[in-house]
Amino acid sequence: MDAAGTVDLMLRGAAAGVSLILAATLVPLARRSLSALFGTLFALGAMAYSIASSALVADQLPALAAALKPLAMMTGVFFWWFALALFCDARRWRASRLIPLAIVSAACAAILVFPSPALDRATIVLHELVNAALMIHVIVIIAGGHQDDLVQPRRKFRTIWVGAIALTVLSVAVAELWKLFADLPSSMHLVESMAILVVACGIAAWSIGAKSEFFPEERSASTGTGTLAPTTGIGTVLEAQDRHLALRLRTAMDQGAWRTPGLTVAGLAERLGTQEHRLRAVINQGLGYRNFAAFLNEYRIGAAKTALADPAASRRQILQIALDLGYGSIAPFNRAFREMTGMTPSEYRRAALKAVDIPAEAAAE
């Protein structure tokens, strides 16, 4: 084995070790946190890929490489799940998110059951295309949710995360596709190995250093049909001046500040005459919200449920209700409503009006 091969093996071994340590650290948190569970799966997948993708392991220990390959192929899906759970603060996990796993699992099965060079190439191309699509989605989520994120360590993490993902995915995708047509140069092996190690160390350092912020205990979603009361209890962790700000925030929200279209943290801070970072801390640490959109939606969806269940407003269009609540269009309103209630606005209205004997066809959509 030449010097380049030795360095490559050392880098991959280090990446596998760091990934395994991260997985062991997250396992105790996996029972109470979805992001920790998917983080554990991602770390195990990264460990498997670090080993299985080594040319030396494939040559000297083919049985080990073959055993780890299915888990390694799942790494992109696990990473996608991890990012969704970590950054989206979703109340419900959608069954549709199992589709990429089904595609990759089918690819793995095809390779094992019908081994052939042509099929191997086709499945690798399919696998890399799926991974690329998932990573593009992750990058969009990370970049798009930066302003709404109220968890300071996680908000800072987003910027680094985007660069790390882009570097790693580009390196791995190019390497895997290159292998289909020619031997990978030793320099490319080293670039890939270094990228994997850097990302593994970065994720491990940030995740372990900010466990409580990154992996909170999952809260159950409210799926009742009554009026949703916003969570406005003021935490005792706030200093006196921030408790005063929290009270002023409560007053502003009770007066309808949440109805302002396009309302942002910066806009609300300006309205309250305070600094944006202070308001972020109050909403996050004092009121317990991790995302500004979720904070607004507690008020907006609560009001929407009241309006939709009102027999006197049964002819009022749902679009008009959404606009009156501060949404710019019907699509974000529908997404937020379904996320919080498990029903579409139309389904909720029909159920609510049926309870008071208002014909469903009399309600405006």
Tens-digit pLDDT profile for residues 182-221:
776 767 778 778 888 888 888 888 777 766 667 776 654 3
The answer to the question of residue 220 being in a domain is no
State how far the Cα of 320 lies from the Cα of 327, in Å rounded to an integer. 10
Q: Are residues 158 and 251 in the same domain?
A: no
Binning pLDDT at 50, 70 and 90, where does residue 358 land?
Answer: low
* In a domain? residue 227: no
Q: Which residues are CB-contacts of 175 (< 8 A; sequence separation ≥ 6)?
A: 53, 184, 188, 189, 192
Q: Is residue 254 part of a domain?
A: yes
Indicate the residue among 214, 229, 254 that finishes a domain: 214
**Does residue 255 share a domain with residue 196?**
no
- The letter for the amino acid at 45 is G
The verdict on 252 and 328 lying in the same domain is: yes
CA nearest neighbour of 293 among 89, 48, 152: 89
159 and 54 together in one domain: yes
Residue 280 has pLDDT above 80, yes or no: yes
Structurally, how many domains does the chain consist of?
Answer: 2
Residue 345, pLDDT > 90, answer yes
Q: Do 140 and 273 belong together in one domain?
A: no
Asked if residues 308 and 345 have their Cβ atoms less than 8 Å apart, the reply is yes
Q: Is the pLDDT of residue 226 over 70?
A: no
Percent of the chain whose predicted confidence (pLDDT) is above 90: 35
CATH number where 147 lies:
1.20.1070
Residue 265 contacts residue 64 (beta carbons within 8 Å): no
Look up tokens 């029903």; give the residue.
343
32 and 120 housed in the same domain? yes
- Residue 183 has which token pair? 């031997």
Cα–Cα distances in Å, from 324 out to 170, 199, 301, 333?
44, 45, 12, 11
CB 301 within 8 A of CB 91: no
Would residue 219 count as lying in a domain? no
Per-residue pLDDT at 118: 83
At 203 the pLDDT is 80
Residue 123 in this model has a pLDDT that exceeds 80: yes
32 or 283: which leads in pLDDT: 283
Do the domain assignments include residue 231?
no
How confident is residue 285, by pLDDT bands cut at 50, 70 and 90?
confident
Distance CA 306, CA 288 (A): 24
Domain that holds residue 310: 240-362
Do 124 and 7 lie in one domain? The reply is: yes
> Is the model's pLDDT at 259 over the cut of 90?
yes
pLDDT value at 222 more than 60: no
pLDDT at 324: 94
pLDDT at 232 over 50: no
Best CA proximity match to 45, nearest among 66, 10, 76, 67: 76
Please identify, among 214, 249, 273, the residue that sits at the C-terminal boundary of a domain. Answer: 214
Q: Counting every residue, how long is the chain?
A: 365
pLDDT per position as a tens digit, 303-342: 999 999 999 888 899 999 999 999 999 999 999 999 888 8
Q: For CA atoms 354, 356, 359, 362, give the dihedral sign.
A: negative
Q: Are residues 151 and 277 in the same domain?
A: no
174 and 78: one domain?
yes
From residue 56, give the alpha-carbon distance in Å to each of 13, 48, 69, 241, 341.
12, 14, 14, 61, 52
Give the number of other CB atoms < 10 A from CB of residue 213. 17
pLDDT > 70? residue 91 = no
Q: Does residue 110 share a domain with residue 180?
A: yes
- Averaged pLDDT, 32-44: 90
Taking 80 as the threshold, does the pLDDT of residue 4 lie above it?
A: no
Are 196 and 245 members of one domain?
no
Model pLDDT, residue 331: 94
Q: What is the C-alpha to C-alpha distance for residues 296 and 342, in angstroms, rounded to an integer?
A: 18
What average pLDDT score do residues 86-115 get?
Answer: 84
Give the tens place of pLDDT for each residue, 160-181.
776 677 777 777 777 777 777 7
| φ and ψ of 114, to 5 deg | -125, 65
Residue type, 134: L
The candidate with the shortest Cα–Cα distance to 300, out of 274, 336, 264, 265, is 336
> Does some domain include residue 224?
no
